[in-house]
Amino acid sequence: MNWQAVRVDTNSEAVEVVCDLLISVGADGVQIDETNGISVIAYYENNDQLPNILSTIKSRLKLLPKVSVDPSPATINLSDVSQSDWENNWKKYYHTQRITRHLTVVPSWETFKPQQSDEMPIIMDPQLTFGTGTHETTRLMMQALEAVVRGGESMIDVGTGSGVLAVAAKLLGVSSVLATDIDDISVKVAKENLMLNPIAADIKVVTSDLLLNVDTQPVDLIVANILADVIERLIPQTRSRLKPKGYFLVSGIYDAIAPHIEEQLRTNGYDIIQKSQMGKWHSYITQIKEK
């Protein structure tokens, strides 16, 4: 099978929106390349559907400014990719990285060599999903988890992607984790990554549009590192699924939309306990307001 790598040059503010766009038109894999600026690379089977896919990508990129997202420079480049290159392409861009004081993301093909005794590895083979632990939003979420987890909590990870935050939570002491994703491929990859991390063996992963198909008792924590427009839809779904004084940790929010998300959080009964920023990306530790 032959593939086409479609590279869209963009910027840090629009990168997750562009990822979502490429996946929505059938990408068989996306990755972020920050070697020369920021590019999103998506993989499509090289068949008679490809011209229509490219046309759709171009038209949707042109529409993004109408929803206050500037994807510039938004240039598109194509290159042929063989099956073997496609399967191994992650190894070119993805290496062991220390993310927080305690957490280090380690590709499944590399050997973990701890620098300190309290450094803990998250073994990841991201394959087709976005969420290797190296993007600013994922880093912010891991830092937020370190700030609030005390041990023994229950948690829902909404839009789990590769499963990296679910594994991080277990390493930090969260007792039980339910992970969700709307995408069946992400669910499959997350399950495979959990198998690489023995501590995560008991995490349940389900296909769900946000929390719509989740039937569980209220939990101590809900985390979500997803697109800002999806976060707005998620916020009202979280209150009934959190315990009193429960925490909602959220990221994936860029500068332009941050004030609106803050307003939505407060409107839905949350106190913003901590705001953090990395580049143009924002994260929030929020807690249900006391009555």
Residue limits of CATH 3.30.70.120 in the chain: 3-92
How far apart, in whole angstroms, are the C-alpha atoms of residue 188 and residue 223?
20
CATH architecture of 94-288: 3-Layer(aba) Sandwich (3.40)
pLDDT tens per residue across span 205-226? 999 999 998 989 999 999 999 8
**What does the pLDDT read at residue 132?**
62
How far apart, in whole angstroms, are the C-alpha atoms of residue 121 and residue 115?
11
Q: How far apart are the first and last CA of the chain?
A: 59
Residue limits of CATH 3.40.50.150 in the chain: 94-288
Q: Which residues contact 144 (CB under 8 A, 6 or more apart)?
A: 223, 249, 251, 274, 276, 283, 285
**What does the pLDDT read at residue 126?**
64
**What does the pLDDT read at residue 254?**
81
How far apart, in whole angstroms, are the C-alpha atoms of residue 144 and residue 24?
29
How far apart, in whole angstroms, are the C-alpha atoms of residue 214 and residue 61?
33
CATH number of 3-92: 3.30.70.120
How far apart, in whole angstroms, are the C-alpha atoms of residue 87 and residue 127?
8
Angle at 285 between CA 281 and CA 288, to 5 degrees: 140
Q: What is the pTM of this model?
A: 0.77
User: Is beta strand 30-33 parallel, antiparallel or unpaired with respect to 38-45?
Assistant: antiparallel
**What does the pLDDT read at residue 246?**
96
Mean pLDDT by 10 residues, the chain (291 residues): 86 86 77 85 86 93 89 93 66 80 90 91 74 77 96 96 94 97 84 95 95 93 89 95 96 88 96 92 93 70
* DSSP codes, 168-180: HHHHHT-SEEEEE
How far apart, in whole angstroms, are the C-alpha atoms of residue 171 and residue 137?
19
